[in-house]
Chain A
Amino acid sequence: EAGVTQFPSHSVIEKGQTVTLRCDPISGHDNLYWYRRVMGKEIKFLLHFVKESKQDESGMPNNRFLAERTGGTYSTLKVQPAELEDSGVYFCASSHGGHYNEQFFGPGTRLTVL
């Protein structure tokens, strides 16, 4: 069974540009999460989808970030326009339903904003 995949693995953009990150969860997982780790600090929750619906987006930093999950399969996270402080590693995770089901993480996308 394929794990969670993320694309691209690394993105370098200039301040003010737009970047779109993609996450493909494990097949059949209704729950999809986005997390971010900035500068070697803690991994912070961004948002949670249940199928195509946003269940919790309390961790989204501001309105420059837009996440979608059309059709309840893959998800995209767009940053527009990107700022220097957006640099970090963006992780996607997925899980079956249920609070205590394990979240499986993808390898992450390293975003560098210059």
Chain B
Amino acid sequence: DQQVKQNSPSLSVQEGRISILNCDYTNSMFDYFLWYKKYPAEGPTFLISISSIKDKNEDGRFTVFLNKSAKHLSLHIVPSQPGDSAVYFCAARRNDYKLSFGAGTTVTVRA
């Protein structure tokens, strides 16, 4: 039972443009959402998060938007840089430690 879904397995974007990654979830009990970034042969690293009481969180070039009524969140990367090429995982959790991940979106930033 996959509770977090990333329906786009890949995304290609030109350097300098905006990357938009989408994530949907089904469990209304989730109260904290995270994005992780993963390079090949490395583990996922935390990128940005948002609590369910907010609808936007910004950190430099990265902004996460949360639409609770639609059970949808998105990650915006502006401007996209070649070093942003990686797999991005959406994750969520309830009031516990267990993270539920999506399947990931592979982002390729073209020069």
Contact = CB atoms under 8 A, between A and B. Distances in A.
Contact of B97 (A40, A41, A48, A105): A48
Interface in A87-114: 91, 93, 95, 99-100, 102-108
A2 B32 CA distance: 27
A44 B96 CA distance: 15
A91 B103 CA distance: 15
Interface in B31-70: 32, 36, 41-46
A105 B4 contact: no
Contacts of A102: 46
Contact of B101 (A31, A40, A44, A106): A44
A99 B94 CA distance: 9
Q: Chain B interface: which size bin?
A: 20 to 34
B68 to A, nearest CB: 18
A1 interface: no
Contacts of A7: none
B28 interface: no
Interface string A39-80: 011111100100000011011000000000000000000000
A41 B46 contact: no
B43 A40 contact: no
A97 B2 CA distance: 27
Interface string A20-38: 0000000000010101000
B97 A42 contact: no
Interface of A: 4, 9, 31, 33, 35, 40-45, 48, 55-56, 58-59, 91, 93, 95, 99-100, 102-108
12 contacts: A42-B101, A42-B102, A43-B91, A43-B101, A48-B98, A55-B97, A59-B98, A99-B93, A104-B43, A105-B43, A105-B44, A106-B43
Given A43-B44, A43-B104, A44-B101, 6 more contacts: A43-B89, A43-B91, A55-B97, A56-B96, A58-B98, A106-B43
Interface of B: 2, 4, 32, 36, 41-46, 89, 91, 93, 95-104
